[in-house]
Chain A
Amino acid sequence: LSLWAVAVLLVALLCLDPHSRVSSAPICTHGPSGCHVPSLADLFDRVIQHSARMHSLSNDLHSEFEQYFLPSKNSIGKIYRKCHTSSILTPNGKENAQKLAREELTEVILKLLMAWRDPLFQLHQSMAHQQDFNSFSSNKALEMGDMAHELRKGVEKVAEKMRVLGMLGNSVTGLSAAETMLPISDSGEAMSNYELLYCFRRDSNKVQNYLKILKCRIVPEHDC
């Protein structure tokens, strides 16, 4: 009887946890080989959902950090180091974003996601090793990193599809290895976890926004 109770409890916990893992469904790219080929709209919906989820996670983590480790918001001593992705030129307004071509916008998205692959892994590692964090936070960080990875793959597939459909020119270049940046600030120190979270929160918001713009520009059927 106790075994049953434990099993039921576990299931309940898994179900009730709002941040339980969500994995993306595989996207079929090989045509009518038994796999349902999603349309571009479906692909966009999927990646946008992904990015929303990712941003939500980063938001939660950042709030936790602010709450427990930095009680004084707006403290004078708060110094923000530059995010390592600040070198990537990103549109900072609607008009700017709309002015960008699809290819550029897609590229920006991919750049951003690529730039965060390693730092997120590092973030998870450092969070897991420190005892200050509970297991939920480090799991969130891990999930966040995985989602970023999945999202990048998804966006690449979207780009591929667009290219196939002729919506995208060939100016989208693959990301070279040089693009991978290390989150090293000006002073050469590694960024702290809080700063990483701060930066990633912002960047995930950017990605989500850009994807939405892209979607409503390309497939404006619904939700636009």
Chain B
Amino acid sequence: MRNSGAVLILTFIAKLILQAAGVSPPGKPRLTSCRSPEKETFTCWWEPGGDGGLPTTYALYYHLENSETVYECPDYRTAGENSCYFNKNDTSLWVNYNITVVASNALGKNISDPVEVDVVYIVQPNTPENVTAVVVHDEQGPFVRVSWEKPRTADTRSGWITLIYQIRVKQEKDEKWEEYDAGMQKYYNVFSLHPDKECMVQVRCKPDHGFWSEWTQTTYVKMPNYIPRERSLWILITIFSIFIVLILTWTLNVKRNSMKLCLLPPVPGPKIKGFDKQLLKSGKTEEIFNTLVIQGFPPTTDYENLLVEYLEVYDNEEQELVLDGKELSEDFMKSKSSSDNDSGRGSCDSRTLLLEKCMDGREGSGSDQHQYSQHGETSWASTESSESQGAEPGSPESTDGRAKTWPVVFPQPHHHYPVGAVKPAYHNVPEILNQLSPHATPSNYHQLHHQDIPQQELRFSKSACRHSQSYNQFNLDSIDTPAPGVPPLPSLEYVEVQRVNPENMLLLRPLSDPNREPERSDCTGEDYSKVKVVTSHNILLLQRDTSHQCVDDYSQADQCTTQQPPHPCKPAVHQWNSVMPQEGMRVMGNGYVDSTVLMPSF
């Protein structure tokens, strides 16, 4: 009794002493990790929990899943302190290991928590080996080629394990590593490294299901000093400029019209002051004419200063003409003559030409109404003063509806142009009409409308040979005749245009020459030159002064008076530039020379 009690007391005292000394059973160990480098072996490490002051031993025990057999760690040394190494024989894949570590010391033991391990999922290979980095010089610049080998232990050859690699690069004075994945290959080219700098390279690997290995030791490589050709910059600049050019082109294309306007401003078209194009299009001729007519032009201060214009009317024999009496018949006989009245006309419009052409047509025209009409732009219409009398509207016989023509068609046109004078500026009325009334009716009537007068039509028939298509119609006003009492002249009569009033009216008046030469026309004005004398050399001397006494000249003209175109006298007229046909030359009875033929042909 005393012994057991003494033992107890001694044990208690011993414990107290031990506790005072700081020893205790070991702390609980802990398995930190288990790793397999090649999927064939594996190692487990633990950390002790505290030895309690006494030497502590650790033992690792394991058992496989679904088996109760407990095995102890076969190898505590290979892997170092506090480790357990399972060799190939002890390693089974696809099997769970239940591992525990037991720490024991003199005072007790302690067991760690169990850990389930399947070796397949704890693979962490060794680091790659033989990492080499070499500078390769390329035309685009040098780069570094890093190559390595697989870790020795990993058996990739048989396909047991598959490794993928990763490298990282850092240049000196850089803070961060650049990581690159290399896949399963064992080399890698590193570009975009700065020149003249040291470069550090590291490699690591990983199995397809597992952990990354540790990084290898740093491999150093020095980049050479080179000047990088900034090709990418140039390419960028080129692309940018092309882009700009494209945008500009597109903009220009879009704004093409406004650019054209800006660079090539449109030339303003001609504009006649007061002339309205719209009016022209609408075809109201009066208004158009009104705009054209200048007030007070031609200057009509005095009728003596008038530009004398004569309108000649030519009718052919086919046209029904209402003549004023038969007195004209003899005149019309004369019309057979191929006298020509080409004054003011173009050569193409030469009446003589017409007559020649129309000779055929005229054979049958035995009517006493030989009237030659000359048409065309240069046709002149003359009106007989008789018709112009106010009582009757323009026509000698104002028959109703019948063609009223001025029967003033003279085969011998009496053109009283001052020879040698400046060709007066004749208003080519038909021409004006042609231009001003572009909407010439198909009937080709040109109308010159006049006020106040009931429409009187002066029709000029076409020539038999239809030389011209145009008819000229003149609705003439009542012609102011200074001598209203002048009897109607049966014969050829000139009417001079007194003026053109604002309504485009031709105010005509007959030549107030009361001379009634049956065979000759009257002298029409003061601007005509009279033949003064015919010299011995058959030269006609013309007189330019305005002597109105035509009568006086009769005697002079009698020398070579002839009504026939060919006259034996053949006075040699002062030659103009053109050769005149003999038959074309006429000498008027009253001393006037028809200088039509003398005019140079146009």
Mark A residues whose CB is within 8 Å of B. 52, 55, 59, 74, 76, 78, 80, 82, 86, 90, 92-95, 97-98, 202, 205-206, 209, 212-217, 220, 223-224
Measured CA separation A224–B158 after assembly (Å): 6
Mark B residues whose CB is within 8 Å of A. 39-40, 65-66, 88, 91-96, 113-116, 118, 120, 155-160, 162, 184, 208-209
Select A205's contact among B65, B94, B159, beta carbons within 8 Å: B94
State the Cβ distance, A223 to closest chain B Cβ, in Å: 6
The 4 closest A-B pairs by CB, nearest first: A216-B159, A212-B159, A92-B92, A92-B93
Select A224's contact among B95, B156, B208, beta carbons within 8 Å: B156
Measured CA separation A97–B40 after assembly (Å): 12
Measured CA separation A151–B156 after assembly (Å): 23
Given contact pairs A80-B65, A202-B118, A223-B184, A93 touches B88 in the complex (Cβ within 8 A)? yes
Select A217's contact among B39, B95, B158, B208, beta carbons within 8 Å: B158
Which residues of chain A are near B155, meaning CB under 8 Å? 94
Contact A52 B208 (CB under 8 A): yes
Contact B158 A213 (CB under 8 A): yes
Measured CA separation A217–B158 after assembly (Å): 7
Which residues of chain B are near A90, meaning CB under 8 Å? 94
Number of A-B residue pairs, CB cutoff 8 Å, is 61
Given contact pairs A52-B208, A213-B160, A224-B157, A94 touches B40 in the complex (Cβ within 8 A)? yes
State the Cβ distance, B554 to closest chain A Cβ, in Å: 108
Select A92's contact among B65, B94, B157, B162, beta carbons within 8 Å: B94
Measured CA separation A59–B162 after assembly (Å): 17
Which residues of chain A are near B39, meaning CB under 8 Å? 94
Contact B158 A216 (CB under 8 A): yes
Given contact pairs A74-B114, A93-B40, A205-B209, A212 touches B160 in the complex (Cβ within 8 A)? yes
Given contact pairs A80-B66, A94-B158, A212-B162, A206 touches B40 in the complex (Cβ within 8 A)? no
Select A93's contact among B92, B156, B209, beta carbons within 8 Å: B92
State the Cβ distance, A184 to closest chain B Cβ, in Å: 16
Which residues of chain A are near B66, meaning CB under 8 Å? 80, 82, 86
Question: Which of chain B's residues has its CB closest to A91's CB?
Answer: B93
Select A95's contact among B65, B88, B96, B116, beta carbons within 8 Å: B88
Contact A74 B116 (CB under 8 A): yes
7 residue pairs bridging A and B, Cβ less than 8 Å apart: A74-B116, A93-B40, A93-B88, A97-B160, A209-B160, A212-B160, A217-B159
Select B209's contact among A59, A220, A224, beta carbons within 8 Å: A59
Measured CA separation A95–B38 after assembly (Å): 13
Question: Which of chain B's residues has its CB closest to A223's CB?
Answer: B184
Measured CA separation A52–B207 after assembly (Å): 13
Measured CA separation A202–B92 after assembly (Å): 13
Which residues of chain B are near A92, meaning CB under 8 Å? 92-95
State the Cβ distance, A155 to closest chain B Cβ, in Å: 15
State the Cβ distance, A214 to closest chain B Cβ, in Å: 8
Contact A206 B162 (CB under 8 A): no
Contact B120 A224 (CB under 8 A): no
Which residues of chain B are near A209, meaning CB under 8 Å? 160
State the Cβ distance, A160 to closest chain B Cβ, in Å: 21
Measured CA separation A125–B159 after assembly (Å): 35
Contact B158 A98 (CB under 8 A): yes
State the Cβ distance, A127 to closest chain B Cβ, in Å: 23
Most chain A Cβ neighbours within 10 Å, of B88, B93, B155 = B93
Which residues of chain A are near B91, meaning CB under 8 Å? 93
Given contact pairs A80-B66, A94-B39, A202-B118, A216 touches B157 in the complex (Cβ within 8 A)? yes
Which residues of chain B are near A76, meaning CB under 8 Å? 114
Given contact pairs A74-B114, A74-B115, A80 touches B159 in the complex (Cβ within 8 A)? no
Which residues of chain B are near A52, meaning CB under 8 Å? 208
Which residues of chain B are near A74, meaning CB under 8 Å? 113-116
State the Cβ distance, A206 to closest chain B Cβ, in Å: 6
Q: A80-B66, A93-B40, A202-B120 are in contact. List 5 more A-B contacts (CB 8 A).
A: A80-B65, A205-B94, A216-B158, A220-B157, A224-B156
Which residues of chain B are near A213, meaning CB under 8 Å? 158-160
Select A94's contact among B115, B160, B162, beta carbons within 8 Å: B160
Measured CA separation A93–B89 after assembly (Å): 9
Question: Which of chain A's residues has its CB closest to B39's CB?
Answer: A94
Which residues of chain A are near B92, meaning CB under 8 Å? 92-93
Most chain A Cβ neighbours within 10 Å, of B40, B95, B120 = B120
